[in-house]
Amino acid sequence: MYAREINGQEYSFGVSGKLIRNVLVMYDRQTNSFWSQLLGESIEGELVGTKLEFVPSWFTTWEQWKEMHPDSLALNKGYAGAQDPYEFGYYNSPDAGVIGETLNDDRLYTKEFIVGVELDDQAVAYPFSVLNGEPVVNDTVGETAVLVVYDEASTSAVVHNRTVNGQTLTFSQTDEPFRLVDAETGSIWDGISGTALEGELAGSQLDRIKNTTSFWFGWKDFFPDTLIYGI
């Protein structure tokens, strides 16, 4: 998710119908520049090289979101139920998208879901198959200490910077869903929001880091030198 304001001006976006390495390409209606959905950057046109501001978001189930935010508004998709035209053909097929792979890399299954993080000129993929057994990951990407929090039931993942006020923290899961504890101070944290709820650091906030939930084939085509956590 990205902010639509650039240098104080609000832009509106649409789907161009184009793909780059199987990733959607947007366009803005003000300049007709093209934008990469994955990169959040203009790749062609008047605004080429301009980056959109990352806005923290969270991929989760409607049931879980309603529980957390019961007064939320929801987009009316125009039909009832949870229809998905890709469910039986596309997802179950080993094919790599519409236009095939750019790079052959069999370290993971073509359609393995991963959480991708790119920082300090380094990319790391966190496979769902690894996160299922390790839902709280303390890692370093480039020079940034990161925390990956994952929920198998909803396949939800968020990534935070785990350094607060110059102190790098090490997190582990408690018995309560989405509640973490840090080893350094014993403070209790909300794993989704990154807010310290109890303890010495109560009220402190972890900074969110941009992450992308993607098929493996889509991620490695953009980041061919990506590392894979746990493999």
58: in domain = no
- Does residue 136 share a domain with residue 215? yes
* 120 and 213 housed in the same domain: yes
Q: 153-163: string of b/e by CB count within 10 Å (b at 16+)?
A: ebbbbbbbbbe
Q: What is the pLDDT of residues 59-114, one digit of tens each?
A: 888 888 888 889 998 887 776 666 666 666 666 677 776 666 777 889 999 989 99
| CA–CA dist 170, 193 (Å, integer) | 17
Domain match, 119 and 198 both: yes
Dihedral angle over CA of 76, 158, 133, 143, nearest 10: 150
Do the beta carbons of residue 190 and residue 197 sit within 8 Å?
yes
- Both tokens assigned to 149: 């929090």
Report the range of poorest mean pLDDT among 20-29, 36-45, 95-104. 95-104
Examine the domain organization and report whether 119 and 221 are in the same domain: yes
**How far is CA 68 from each of CA 57, 64, 113, 150, 196, rounded to the nearest angstrom?**
14, 6, 25, 16, 17
Q: Strand 122-127 relative to strand 227-228: parallel, antiparallel, unpaired? A: parallel
| One domain, residues 38 and 117 | no
pLDDT, position 87: 63
Q: Verify that 221 and 130 share a domain, yes or no.
A: yes
Q: Residue 123: which CATH number? A: 2.102.10.10
Q: In whole angstroms, what is the distance from residue 173 CA to residue 78 CA?
A: 39
Please state the pTM of the whole predicted model.
0.86
- 155-200 pLDDT tens trace: 889 999 999 999 999 999 999 878 999 999 999 999 999 999 999 9
Q: Give the CA count within 13 Å in the CB-facing half-sphere of 121.
A: 0
Helix or strand holding residue 195 (H, E): strand 195-198
Residues 6+ apart with CB under 8 A from 193: 205
> Which one, of 190, 122, 192, 203, lies nearest residue 154 by Cα?
192
Best-predicted range by mean pLDDT (17-31, 136-150, 206-220): 136-150
What's the domain range around 192? 113-228
Domain count, the chain: 2
